[in-house]
Structure 1
Amino acid sequence: MAQKKTPVKENIQEPFVFQKSNYMLMIVGIIVVILGFIIMAGDTDIYSSSKIVLAPIIVLIGFAIGFIAILKKPANHN
């Protein structure tokens, strides 16, 4: 009976999808979003401009930073 030759898999280490800079940007984005929600929950004045205008803008900036962190391509280390 003929024996099948199975290809030997080499242990090639795949590079990580994200690098340290991606994770740092993601952490910064999360902190900015949390800061926006803290400002939104702030003082007792419901109609203050910081709650209605500033806090949602800060939250959107935080989400944008997270989006950039995901899409940022790793630098080539050749």
Structure 2
Amino acid sequence: MANSKQENSQPTFALGKENYKLLLIGFAIIVVGFILMVGGKSEDPSVFNPEIFSFRRITLAPLVVLFGFLFEIYAIMKRSKTEK
């Protein structure tokens, strides 16, 4: 009787299909945040470029990355509609 239960049970993933889609979206948001941080270097190393302190690099990009990580937590914690 125990063997019949083992034969019928299929291995399942820890998360549902929707969770994995949300995880990919969150990962894309994090990548966009890091891309926003790129740039601002000076052509000449002895010359300072104040562009590294722009709003995009100091404020916007870290907020986008933080939102991406929060979205990842939501994607992991979200229950599927089929689960009870």
Deviation at 1:7, TM superposition (A): 4.2
Q: Which amino acid letter does the alignment assign opposite residue 74 of structure 2?
A: I
Deviation at 1:13, TM superposition (A): 1.9
Once residues 2 and 64 of structure 2 are traced to their aligned partners in structure 1, the CA distance between those partners, rounded to angstroms, is: 54
Structure 2 unaligned spans of 5+: 42-50
Q: Percent identity?
A: 35
TM-score (norm 2): 0.74
Once residues 52 and 7 of structure 1 are traced to their aligned partners in structure 2, the CA distance between those partners, rounded to angstroms, is: 60
Determine which of 52, 68, 81 is the counterpart of 1:46. 52
**Number of residues of Structure 1 aligned to a counterpart in Structure 2:** 72
Q: CA RMSD in A?
A: 2.0
Q: Which amino acid letter does the alignment assign opposite residue 36 of structure 2?
A: I
Determine which of 20, 28, 32 is the counterpart of 1:31. 28
Q: Which amino acid letter does the alignment assign opposite residue 56 of structure 2?
A: S
Looking at CA atoms only, which structure, 1 or 2, has the larger radius of gyration?
Answer: 1
Structure 1 unaligned spans of 5+: 1-5
TM-score (norm 1): 0.79
